[in-house]
Copies of this chain bind each other. A is one copy, B any other.
Amino acid sequence: MDLRHLKYFIAVAEEQNIGRAATRLHISQPPLTRQIQQLEDELGVRLLTRTPRGVELTQAGTLFLEEARNIRSIVEQATERTQRAGQGKLGRLDVGIFGTAILDAIPKLLLAFRRAYPEVKIVLHTMNKGEQIEALRQRRITVGFNRMVAPLPDIETKLVATENLLLAVSHAHPLAAQSSVSFRDLSEHPLVLFPTGARPNFIDKVMTLCHDAGFEPQISHEVGDAITGVALAAGGFGACLVPESATSLALPGVVYKPLTELPPNSRVDLSCIYRRDDRAPILEAFLGVVDHVRENLLGHP
């Protein structure tokens, strides 16, 4: 049996007349007669009774008509769903997230993507940089978000945004009282740095900036993530350099101070990473949204 048989049978059943059905199907009558006979033979069931004015359905034929219409509609739906999946409009996107970006840039991006592709299910996985790269290679995620990604042969990197550096300090901290804080002022105060884990990371960035500015930073603590860092700053354990998006972390007792006289390249980048060989339509769609959002929503130089 064949989908053609179903189409033909539906036409014949609806016209109650093989000749008219043939006209409607843009074929001649004899092949249609034969296809219907073939269908009946294959099922071993008489679907039509031949009358002098045409044909009429048997009980089995009536049932088969319903079934045939049902099958055709299911095939149609399957086709459409597959096509939407092929256009990246239907399916699932596994995303690796990490760091302060989840406080600002990532939600904006994901919301924009969801608005454009509402039928794509977004699954978030919190993992650090090394885990993200591993997960990309094993195809457990399709995109990851991270900062300071070193180039890799199989992983493509796409800049999503750059942010200014701010200083998080307790309101009791001496720098909190200053109307403006220069980057060089940091040489006089112990710093809380983050994150620990895979290098190079934000710590290396800060160290480089300090060296470029001509001083060696006093390191108070190295902690795992921005939240811990800001919390320590709030508790007076030191000043903490954070990307702009961390200001969403409104912990009690914390003030965020802008910095003046920053060395060049002091902005921190947020990138998304994905397999260079991945041609999945959902990824293409996502990267399109990234481009679009970067131009419209996120701050950049």
Contacts and interface: CB of A to CB of B under 8 A. Distances in A.
Interface of A: 1-4, 43-47, 49, 58-60, 63-64, 67-68, 70-71, 74-75, 78-79, 81-83, 85-87, 90-92, 279-282
Nearest to A84: B60
Contacts of A4: 2
A78 B70 CA distance: 9
B281 A75 contact: no
Contact residues of A: prevailing secondary structure: helix
A63 B75 contact: no
Given A1-B75, A75-B71, A86 B282 contact: no
A67 B4 CA distance: 19
Contacts of A85: 45, 59-60, 63-64
Contact of A3 (B1, B46, B68): B1
B83 A45 contact: yes
Contacts of A78: 64, 67-68, 70-71
* This protein's copies in its complex: 2
Question: Which residue of A71, A75, A87, A282 has the most chain B CB atoms within 10 A of its CB atom?
Answer: A75
B92 A59 contact: yes
Contacts of A68: 78
Contacts of A81: 63, 67
A91 B45 contact: no
B43 A91 contact: no
B282 A59 contact: yes
Contact of A43 (B47, B83, B90): B83
A71 B74 contact: yes
A21 to B, nearest CB: 19
A222 to B, nearest CB: 40
B64 A82 contact: yes
A2 B91 CA distance: 25
Given A43-B83, A59-B280, A85-B60, A2 B2 contact: yes
14 contacts: A1-B75, A2-B3, A44-B86, A45-B86, A59-B280, A60-B85, A63-B81, A63-B82, A63-B91, A64-B82, A67-B78, A67-B81, A71-B71, A71-B78
A90 B63 contact: yes
Contacts of A74: 70-71, 74
Nearest to A142: B59
